[in-house]
Structure 1
Amino acid sequence: MKVDKKTSTKQASKPKDWKNFFIPLIIFVLALSIRIIGLKFDFPLFTHPDENFLMSPLIEMSAKQSLDPGT
């Protein structure tokens, strides 16, 4: 029984080709999901976490149309 070198080489390289395609795909999907979750961060103000302490009184002052920050 003869073993064709071309066939055996192609079969041996398929698992490597699979890894070369799916590992970057998994990394891309993971990065995309983290990015989408990150877009929801503090929506709708798009501020940093420490800015809420400054923005909350300003929003309340605007809603009450007052210059009293209420602190």
Structure 2
Amino acid sequence: MKAYRLLTEDDTSAFCHKVSEALSKGWDLYGDPSYAFDAATQKMRCAQAVVKEVVGVEYTPEVKLGRL
């Protein structure tokens, strides 16, 4: 199966660490990162899509994508 995740976080080093962790676990970047202002928190938010090909796993909604 091909898994997809959208990683989001405030625009801090925590976002970079989240993406770096996913890359170290075999996920690949998918598209460009996005940035948007969150008016509720008065902070910039970041988003990055990642994908991963997972052999031997069939997709169901119960799959814990963060554990792949």
TM-score grouping bracket, smaller chain normalisation:
under 0.3
- Which one has more relative contact order, counting CA pairs under 8 Å at least 6 apart? 2
Which structure carries more helix by proportion? 1
Question: In terms of Rg, which structure is larger?
Answer: 1
- TM-score, normalised via structure 1 length: 0.23
Greater strand content:
2
Normalised to the residue count of structure 2, the TM-score between the two structures is: 0.24
